[in-house]
Structure 1
């Protein structure tokens, strides 16, 4: 009734009288639905009709804080405090401003003082808990949130915050103990059972985790989070068919998600049902075309099937989304080698190096392609660059050996052969694979045999 009357007044420019309580209700309505301009209009009209009303003035303070007008907010708070020094809302708004300025210790002091005057301390305990969280003081944060739960065991926001504190301290055992006591008080809380399962999951107690998630979905058969966690746990227990059933339940309860399609696909892949896995991965990328992981999973399956023409299509999709991911460039290089597109493979390996992927296998992959193409000069340059980082690696020494002997620099070649044999004798097959002509040289054969027998 009051809201309709107020909006009618705004449309007609007529001025109607409202009592202060009606204005409060109207303002709170607009704040709750995010219409701050209408809330400000209501505050202005309210204070014109009730200029000394504390509650309306405090709502103006709230708007000032929301808008970042802290000086104006403090000025009004000081005026209210002069009239009502023990008004609990004054303490809360002061603490809010201090918190916005990252003065969390001072905010805690103000909020603690307000506890002397507030009738219901729960909201203040929650605020104190949040300030301690900002300070990474998880013990004190947890204690304050726990007070909220003692008053209202269905205060799930505080329950989540208590568990968050335990998790940040990686104290999962204590978290489990807390949740077991909580469940004794509130045994039909699907949220608590769900959180208990997650703690057991972190400790790899998968059987216990599964029991907890089963209770959660038994209490609430529409609890999507419970089914998801239950399915993930079943995966850990290698019960892939049961995991799939639980993932599919979530698709019945809510709109499909790429995440669920991916998880179902991975389960089918582990069941060696690759065709069905591909179906679900395709559903995932259809649902979320920007999900590069989905494109990569498709790439991997087509690589396993040696269908490199399809694999190159899918890895290109992943690279279009994230062309700074070295994993994708490595896969792109691997596929192009199978397709005999060596220039593209070289480009991919060089891109890996340029974006900071300096792993030895990237250098060696690039060198091996260059050697295959007969580009010994650039191969040597890259190997020497790699050797500055990877000083004692036989894979580098054997390749240097082959290059130098091919170029009739036998002294250098045998120096590197000797070093390679000292580092890892068994890897000398590298020479046989990459430089078969060098490996067949009798002098090389004798050198290797002499080293083995020495």
Structure 2
């Protein structure tokens, strides 16, 4: 599940700093081959691929026959989308050092990126008997078969990967995705049940069963499976974490909070588990504690956007809208494609009376993720409050294209149409709304109280009231 987001030791950071200072000052200090490999991997892990490539070139000037540094150079090229350059290096390496597992796996990935999936599959199929980490080979094969739309072969390969390494989370995830697409959940449930029948005290098997139930939306079954895993191994941090998620999905927030605390006790604090713990505090309306852990999450990883969003939501609940805007903008700067972040920003701007900024943020949310009811309702209300009734009407019409069964949108549309003098269309829309959900008709009076005295409206509602009573 979760790992420390900064899994590099202070010693490694110091090594990188010493290397960079040496280059800057032209000191030409000595660095061993393994030290240079660690520096390049550090750059890979921090997405600094250009630096990784330059370092690998520099390292090869010192260690020109290093297979590992050449492999890291090839990987750097691939990460930089210079795949053909990387492939050329890998093919040379494969000739020099045939059956080197790292080279073969990287070569297969490069072939796949260049749409040479058949060649990549053939390469891995031939390599299976020689592979030390057969689980990883089957996992990659599963991915390549999936790209080729050979889902049955992909499922079988992913199953093999899980059989060999039952806690292979990437294989488990892909298997869950594939079985979701294929609708073959019974098959995968039976697959994990076989593991449990053979070894009922296998915590990983129970955990995997929980993952599948969770994907099916059977959260109570997932909770039971995670509980079994934890009875067997009470230090299983991933099981605690997923248990917390399933409990959140069933509104059992206090138990979820306990599960997240257990996660942290097992694996230590990181940005993800602190953020989820904060969310459970928020659901329990313990806003100060929620703020504390969202803040801790952001401190552990300043690029963890969910934490900044959570801080914004805490400020909304505290009615500190200026602060909320600051946090929402931090989240958006990191991940501008998340519609919920724009909705949060829009809500805060609205509360401060910044209607233009609010409407722009709601529009951005709608563009990113059509179908969020709140965005259409709130944006239409901004226009309604400004007597821009036709624009309010347009927003609701747009919302109805995405949410055609949402009665509240029809009732709002009735009011906006009446405001623009479209009585005939409004009465027709009202009949649709009353058919969908009669009880929500009071929305009409909340938006436009004088409608309670409108005879034509009263007559239509009364007709449907009689039918509703029956």
In 2, Cα distance between the equivalents of 1:327 and 1:240?
21
**1:288-333 CA distances to partner (integer Å, 9 max, x unpaired)?**
55555445545555655xx53x144224421343175554554555
SS of the residue corresponding to residue 386 of structure 2 reads: helix
Residue of structure 2 equivalent to 1:8: none
Residue of structure 2 equivalent to 1:382: 391
Q: Offset of 1:133 from its aligned partner? A: 1.9
In 2, Cα distance between the equivalents of 1:228 and 1:262?
12
**1:225-263 CA distances to partner (integer Å, 9 max, x unpaired)?**
122123334445555434333322333344423433343
CA RMSD across the alignment: 4.9
Residue of structure 2 equivalent to 1:445: 454
Q: Offset of 1:182 from its aligned partner? A: 3.2
Question: CA distance change for structure 1 residues 34 and 182 in 2, over 3 Å: closer, same or farther?
Answer: farther
The answer as to whether partners of 1:326 and 1:355 remain within 8 angstroms in 2 is yes
> Which of 140, 143, 154 in structure 2 is aligned with 1:133?
143
Question: CA distance change for structure 1 residues 345 and 326 in 2, over 3 Å: closer, same or farther?
Answer: farther
Residue of structure 2 equivalent to 1:173: 186
TM-score between the two structures when normalised by the length of structure 1: 0.62
Does 2:371 align with 1:361? Answer: no
What are the ranges of 5 or more consecutive residues in structure 1 without an aligned counterpart?
Answer: 1-25, 45-55, 81-86, 372-378, 404-411
Residue of structure 1 equivalent to 2:415: 398
In 1, Cα distance between the equivalents of 2:357 and 2:231?
55
What are the ranges of 5 or more consecutive residues in structure 2 without an aligned counterpart?
Answer: 1-31, 42-55, 78-84, 402-408, 464-470
| Greater displacement, 422-431 / 262-271 | 422-431
Q: Offset of 1:190 from its aligned partner? A: 3.9
SS of the residue corresponding to residue 256 of structure 1 reads: coil
In 1, Cα distance between the equivalents of 2:99 and 2:461?
85
SS of the residue corresponding to residue 108 of structure 1 reads: helix
SS of the residue corresponding to residue 454 of structure 2 reads: helix
Q: How many residues align?
A: 379
**1:267-289 CA distances to partner (integer Å, 9 max, x unpaired)?**
34444545544544454455455
SS of the residue corresponding to residue 89 of structure 1 reads: coil
In 1, Cα distance between the equivalents of 2:291 and 2:131?
55
The answer as to whether partners of 2:219 and 2:249 remain within 8 angstroms in 1 is yes
Higher normalized contact order (CA 8 Å, seq sep 6+, divided by chain length): 2
> Which of 111, 126, 135 in structure 2 is aligned with 1:101?
111
In 2, Cα distance between the equivalents of 1:59 and 1:330?
48
Q: Offset of 1:209 from its aligned partner? A: 3.4
Residue of structure 1 equivalent to 2:46: none
TM-score between the two structures when normalised by the length of structure 2: 0.60
Question: CA distance change for structure 1 residues 213 and 385 in 2, over 3 Å: closer, same or farther?
Answer: closer
The answer as to whether partners of 2:202 and 2:232 remain within 8 angstroms in 1 is yes
Aligned residue runs from structure 1 range 10-409, under 5 A? 44=65, 68=85, 70-71=87-88, 74=91, 89=99, 97=107, 100-102=110-112, 103-112=116-125, 120=130, 127=137, 130-136=140-146, 137-144=150-157, 155-156=165-166, 161=171, 164-170=174-180, 171-183=184-196, 189-236=202-249, 239-271=252-284, 273-274=286-287, 276-288=289-301, 291-294=304-307, 296-297=309-310, 300=313, 307-308=318-319, 310-322=320-332, 327-335=340-348, 341=353, 344-353=354-363, 356-357=366-367, 360-371=376-387, 379-383=388-392, 385-386=394-395, 389=398, 393-402=410-419
